[in-house]
C-alpha cells in the first residue's frame, strides 16, 4: 500500500458539537478524562483477548497486557499507552471523527444551552474519548491494529473543526494517546496528583495500569524505563473479588466505568452463584434513565464475560426488556468462549440465568421499597413507567411487579408524588370494601377533578389515579390483586362498599334506579349521542356525567390508537344525571320542550368537558350558552 500523505478531515457535525460542549460545560470535573482513556485502553485489551481466542496470531505471542500512564513535565505531555487491539485507518476515522450512537440527533435536540443541565445530559450520553480535550490543547493518537500486517496511523487534533491523519510506520500493536496539556491542566504532570487519580479510576480494572516508579530525570533508555514501571492497581477484575473486599467507592467507580454515567448508581447487587450453573453477576440500578431509554435501537443489556474473558457489550438476553435500564456484568463459567448472540438466544443456560437475574432485580427493588422508601420513591419517579411494561411482558413475575407499582390517588391531596402501593391501599381501605377503585385520566389534575370521584370523596373511599400513557393498557393486565378486583370508576355501574359489590341482582337494582321521570324526557334529546340515560349514584356536586360501558375503549387508549392512524369506532357513553342537583331539579320543571332540549345539550357538553374530552360542535355550545345568558340578563 502506498504511503498516504497527511490528510485533513472535518469532524462530523454532532462530534463537533459534543466537543464544544465537553470543553465548555464539564470543566468542573476535569479529571474524569483519565477514567475515559483508561476505560478505552482496558476495553481495547478486552477486545484483543477475545479476538485472539479464535485468531491467536493477533497477539503474536505477546499476551502481557498492560496500560501505561506516563508524563513529561518539560514537554507538558501526558501519555496513555495500551497494547490492546488498536485501530486501522478506517476505524480511527469512524471511531474518533464521528459519533455513531443511535439517537444522537435526539440527544442534541434536548440540550438547552444551560450549562448545568446540559452537563447532566452529557453525563448520560457518555463523554468518552473527547473528554481528553477538557485538559489538552492538542491530542495525538498513534495506533496500530492487531490485525497482522497493519500499518500504523497517527491522528492529531486540537479539538476545533478538524483533525489530521497520516500513516505512521514502526508502531507496535495498540494505542498511544498523547495529551499536550493546557496550562490550566498541568496538575496532571504532578506525580502525586496523577497517581491518586489513576489509582482511583483503575482499581477495579483487570489489567495492570502502570506508572513510573519514581520520577526519572534525563533518561533516554527505554529499557531502563520499562524496568521502573510498576502497577498502581490491584489488576483484579472487581466482580471476581469477594463482596467484603470491595469498598462502596470501588463499586461506584466500576459502575461509572461500565455505564459511562456521570452520576453514582442508586444501588447495586453483587452475587456469586454456585451449583448447577456457575456465574457471577454485578447489577446496578442507575439514578436517572439514559436520554434514549425509549429508543428502540438503543443498545441495552449487560456486559458478558465468560470465565473472566470479555465476550460482548450489550448482551440483551440476560434481562427482559422492561429492566433494560439495569447496567452491569455477568460472568459465566458454563458458556463456551466462542458464544455468539445467536447462541445466546437459544441457550437454556442463558434462559435460566435470565430468570434468576430478573428475580434478583425485582427483589432488589422490593427490598428497597420496604427498607428505603425515599430511595424507592426516587427510583419510581424515574423508572416507574418502564416497570409498568413488565405487567404485560413478564407474566410469571406479574405479582411481584404489581407490588412494586405506585399510584397517586384522591388521598394524595395536591401532591402528585404522594403515592401508595396496592398493599398500602388495601391496608387503609374501608372495612367492608372489596374492590380496588381507580380512574384513568390524562393528568393528575384531570383525575382529581373528575365528577366521577364525587361520591368516593363524600364517602372517603380511596381511588387510584392513572394518567401515564401506558396505564390503561397496564390495567387491562391488572384485573385483580390478591383477590381484590380492580374497578374502573368511570365504567358501568360501580358498586360502592356495602352495596354488595358482587355482580348479582344487577337488573332489578338498575331498573329501579332508572325509574325517574327525567330519563324518559332526556333520552330523545340525546339519542344519537348516548347509549343510555339514567339517574346517577356517583354524583354529589355535579349535575351530570358521562360513563363508559364495561367494554368500551378508554380515552387514553383511543388517543394512542388514533395517534397511530387507526380510526376507532366511537362507542357511545351513558349519560348520568344527578336528580338531587338544583339545575336538574329546575330542568324537571321546565315546560318548554325546546328550552328543555337546549339545557340538556348544555349539560351533555359540560359533562364531556369535565371528562377532558373535546366538544364535537363547540360553536353550537357557545351560541346555546349565549342565548341562555341573554335570557338571564333580560329576565
* Binding footprint of ligand ADP on the chain (CB under 6 A): 36, 40-41, 44, 82, 84-87, 95-96, 126, 128-129, 175, 260
Q: Give me the least distance between CB of 203 and Mg ion, in Å please.
A: 18
- Between CA 100 and CA 87, with CA 311 as vertex, the angle to 5 degrees is 45
Q: Give me the least distance between CB of 56 and ligand ADP, in Å please.
A: 20
Q: Give me the least distance between CB of 556 and ligand ADP, in Å please.
A: 37
Choose from Mg ion, ligand ADP, none: what does 95 bind? Cβ within 5-8 Å by kind: ligand ADP
Choose from ligand ADP, Mg ion, none: what does 87 bind? Cβ within 5-8 Å by kind: ligand ADP
| Residue 630 burial (C-beta neighbours within 10 Å; 0-12, 13-18, 19+) | exposed
**3-class DSSP assignment, residue 232:** coil
By C-beta, is 175 or 281 nearer to ligand ADP?
175
By C-beta, is 122 or 362 nearer to Mg ion?
122
Please say whether the beta carbons of 198 and 211 come within 8 A: yes
From 19, 37, 38, 40, residue interacting with Mg ion (rule: CB under 5 A): 40
Q: How many CB atoms lie under 10 A from the CB of residue 116?
A: 9
Containing 201, the helix (H) or strand (E) segment is: helix 191-202
Choose from ligand ADP, Mg ion, none: what does 84 bind? Cβ within 5-8 Å by kind: ligand ADP
By C-beta, is 40 or 175 nearer to Mg ion?
40
CA dihedral 328, 332, 337, 339 (to 10 degrees): -70
Q: Give me the least distance between CB of 337 and Mg ion, in Å please.
A: 24
Choose from ligand ADP, Mg ion, none: what does 85 bind? Cβ within 5-8 Å by kind: ligand ADP
By C-beta, is 126 or 579 nearer to ligand ADP?
126
Residues in CB range of 27: below 8 A, 6 or more apart: 134
b or e along 378-415 (b: 16 or more beta carbons within 10 Å of the residue's beta carbon)? ebbebbbbbbbbbbbebeebbebbbbbbbbbbbbbeee
By C-beta, is 136 or 557 nearer to ligand ADP?
136
By C-beta, is 41 or 285 nearer to ligand ADP?
41
* φ, ψ dihedrals at 513, nearest 5°: -60, -30
Choose from Mg ion, ligand ADP, none: what does 81 bind? Cβ within 5-8 Å by kind: none
Choose from ligand ADP, Mg ion, none: what does 82 bind? Cβ within 5-8 Å by kind: ligand ADP
Choose from ligand ADP, Mg ion, none: what does 83 bind? Cβ within 5-8 Å by kind: none
Residues in CB range of 370: below 8 A, 6 or more apart: none
The residue count for binding Mg ion (CB under 5 A) is: 2
- To which residue does cell 430511595 refer? 375
- Between CA 544 and CA 392, with CA 417 as vertex, the angle to 5 degrees is 80
Q: Give me the least distance between CB of 94 and ligand ADP, in Å please.
A: 8
CA distance 92 to 155: 8
Beta bridge partners of 440: 466
Chain position whose Cβ is nearest to ligand ADP:
128
Q: Give me the least distance between CB of 49 and ligand ADP, in Å please.
A: 13
- Between CA 122 and CA 50, with CA 69 as vertex, the angle to 5 degrees is 75
By C-beta, is 87 or 419 nearer to ligand ADP?
87
Q: Give me the least distance between CB of 144 and Mg ion, in Å please.
A: 19
Query: 3-state DSSP: the chain helix, strand, coil percent, rounded to 5?
Result: 45, 20, 35
CA distance 228 to 231: 10
By C-beta, is 95 or 410 nearer to ligand ADP?
95
* 188-227 binders of Mg ion (CB under 5 A): none
Q: Give me the least distance between CB of 128 and Mg ion, in Å please.
A: 4
By C-beta, is 86 or 208 nearer to ligand ADP?
86
Choose from Mg ion, ligand ADP, none: what does 547 bind? Cβ within 5-8 Å by kind: none
Among 5, 68, 298, 348, residue whose Cα is nearest residue 198:
68
* 473-502 binders of Mg ion (CB under 5 A): none
- Between CA 163 and CA 170, with CA 168 as vertex, the angle to 5 degrees is 150
Per the rule left: phi > 0, alpha: psi between -120 and 50, beta: everything else, 392 is alpha
Residues in CB range of 377: below 8 A, 6 or more apart: 406, 417, 419
Choose from ligand ADP, Mg ion, none: what does 435 bind? Cβ within 5-8 Å by kind: none
By C-beta, is 39 or 234 nearer to Mg ion?
39
Choose from ligand ADP, Mg ion, none: what does 390 bind? Cβ within 5-8 Å by kind: none
Choose from Mg ion, ligand ADP, none: what does 175 bind? Cβ within 5-8 Å by kind: ligand ADP
Among 344, 363, 260, residue whose Cα is nearest residue 304:
344
Choose from ligand ADP, Mg ion, none: what does 354 bind? Cβ within 5-8 Å by kind: none
* By CB under 5 A, residue 332 contacts Mg ion: no
Q: Give me the least distance between CB of 19 and Mg ion, in Å please.
A: 15
Q: Write the DSSP symbol of residue 57.
A: G
Q: Give me the least distance between CB of 229 and ligand ADP, in Å please.
A: 18
Choose from ligand ADP, Mg ion, none: what does 41 bind? Cβ within 5-8 Å by kind: ligand ADP
Q: Give me the least distance between CB of 46 and ligand ADP, in Å please.
A: 10
Q: Give me the least distance between CB of 272 and Mg ion, in Å please.
A: 28
By C-beta, is 138 or 278 nearer to ligand ADP?
138
Quickly list DSSP for 110-158: T--S-HHHHHHHHHHH--GGGGGGGTEEEEEEEEE-SSTTPPEEEEEE-
Q: Give me the least distance between CB of 39 and Mg ion, in Å please.
A: 5
Binding mask 105-134 for Mg ion (x = CB under 5 A): -----------------------x------
By C-beta, is 37 or 522 nearer to Mg ion?
37
Containing 193, the helix (H) or strand (E) segment is: helix 191-202
Q: Catalog residues that contact Mg ion under the rule CB under 5 A.
A: 40, 128
Amino acid at each position: 500500500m502506498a504511503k498516504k500523505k497527511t490528510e485533513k478531515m472535518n469532524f462530523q457535525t454532532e462530534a463537533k458539537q459534543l466537543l464544544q460542549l465537553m470543553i465548555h460545560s464539564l470543566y468542573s470535573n476535569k479529571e474524569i478524562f483519565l477514567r475515559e482513556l483508561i476505560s478505552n485502553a482496558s476495553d481495547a485489551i478486552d477486545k484483543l483477548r477475545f479476538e485472539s481466542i479464535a485468531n491467536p496470531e493477533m497477539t503474536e505471542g505477546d499476551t502481557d497486557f498492560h496500560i501505561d500512564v506516563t508524563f513529561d513535565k518539560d514537554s507538558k505531555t501526558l501519555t496513555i499507552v495500551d497494547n490492546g487491539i488498536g485501530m486501522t485507518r478506517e476505524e480511527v476515522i469512524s471511531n474518533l471523527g464521528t459519533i455513531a450512537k443511535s439517537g444522537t440527533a435526539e440527544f442534541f435536540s434536548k440540550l438547552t444551552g444551560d450549562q448545568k443541565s446540559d452537563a447532566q445530559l452529557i453525563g448520560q450520553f457518555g463523554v468518552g474519548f473527547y473528554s481528553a480535550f477538557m485538559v489538552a490543547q492538542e491530542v495525538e493518537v498513534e495506533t496500530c491494529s492487531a490485525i497482522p500486517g497493519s500499518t500504523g496511523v497517527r491522528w492529531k487534533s486540537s479539538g476545533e473543526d478538524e483533525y489530521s491523519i497520516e500513516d505512521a510506520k514502526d508502531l507496535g500493536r495498540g494505542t498511544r494517546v498523547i495529551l499536550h496539556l493546557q496550562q490550566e491542566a498541568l496538575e496532571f504532570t504532578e506525580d502525586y496528583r496523577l497517581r491518586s487519580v489513576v489509582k482511583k479510576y483503575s482499581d477495579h480494572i483487570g489489567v495492570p495500569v502502570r506508572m513510573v516508579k519514581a520520577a526519572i530525570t534525563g533518561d533516554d533508555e527505554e529499557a531502563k524505563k520499562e524496568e521502573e514501571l510498576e502497577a498502581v492497581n490491584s489488576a483484579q477484575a472487581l466482580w471476581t473479588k469477594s463482596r467484603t473486599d470491595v469498598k462502596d467507592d470501588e463499586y461506584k467507580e466500576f459502575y461509572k466505568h461500565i455505564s459511562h454515567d456521570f452520576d453514582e448508581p442508586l444501588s447495586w447487587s453483587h452475587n456469586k452463584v454456585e451449583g448447577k450453573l456457575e456465574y457471577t453477576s454485578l447489577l446496578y440500578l442507575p439514578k436517572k434513565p439514559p436520554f434514549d431509554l425509549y429508543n428502540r435501537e438503543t443498545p441495552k443489556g449487560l456486559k458478558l464475560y465468560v470465565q473472566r474473558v470479555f465476550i460482548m457489550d450489550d448482551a440483551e438476553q440476560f434481562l427482559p426488556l422492561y429492566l433494560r435500564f439495569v447496567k452491569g456484568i455477568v460472568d459465566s463459567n458454563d458458556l463456551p468462549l466462542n458464544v455468539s448472540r445467536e447462541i445466546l438466544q437459544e441457550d437454556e443456560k442463558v434462559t435460566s440465568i435470565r430468570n434468576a437475574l430478573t428475580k434478583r432485580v425485582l427483589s432488589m427493588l422490593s427490598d428497597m421499597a420496604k427498607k428505603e422508601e425515599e430511595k424507592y420513591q426516587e427510583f419510581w419517579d424515574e423508572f416507574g413507567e418502564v416497570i409498568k411494561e413488565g405487567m404485560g411482558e413478564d407474566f410469571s413475575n406479574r405479582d411481584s411487579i404489581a407490588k412494586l407499582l405506585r399510584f397517586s390517588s384522591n388521598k394524595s391531596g395536591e401532591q402528585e408524588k404522594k403515592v401508595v402501593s396496592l398493599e398500602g391501599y388495601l391496608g387503609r381501605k374501608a372495612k367492608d370494601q372489596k374492590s380496588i377503585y381507580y380512574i384513568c385520566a390524562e393528568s393528575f389534575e384531570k383525575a382529581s377533578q373528575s365528577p366521577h370521584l364525587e361520591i368516593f370523596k363524600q364517602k372517603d373511599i380511596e381511588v387510584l389515579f392513572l394518567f401515564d400513557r401506558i396505564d390503561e393498557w397496564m390495567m387491562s393486565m391488572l384485573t385483580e390483586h390478591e383477590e381484590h378486583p380492580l374497578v374502573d370508576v368511570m365504567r358501568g355501574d360501580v358498586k360502592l362498599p356495602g352495596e354488595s359489590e358482587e355482580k348479582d341482582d344487577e337488573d332489578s337494582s338498575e331498573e329501579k334506579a332508572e325509574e325517574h321521570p327525567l330519563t324518559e324526557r332526556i333520552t330523545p334529546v340525546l339519542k344519537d349521542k348516548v347509549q343510555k340515560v339514567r339517574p346517577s349514584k356517583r354524583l354529589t356536586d355535579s349535575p351530570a356525567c358521562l360513563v363508559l360501558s364495561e367494554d368500551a375503549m378508554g380515552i387514553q387508549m383511543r388517543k394512542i390508537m388514533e395517534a397511530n392512524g387507526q380510526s376507532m369506532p366511537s362507542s357511545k357513553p351513558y349519560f348520568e344525571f344527578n336528580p338531587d342537583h338544583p339545575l336538574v331539579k329546575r330542568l324537571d320543571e321546565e315546560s318548554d320542550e325546546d328550552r328543555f332540549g337546549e339545557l340538556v345539550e348544555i349539560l351533555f357538553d359540560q359533562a364531556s368537558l369535565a371528562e377532558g374530552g373535546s366538544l364535537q360542535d363547540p360553536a353550537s355550545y357557545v351560541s346555546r350558552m349565549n342565548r341562555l345568558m341573554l335570557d338571564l340578563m333580560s329576565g
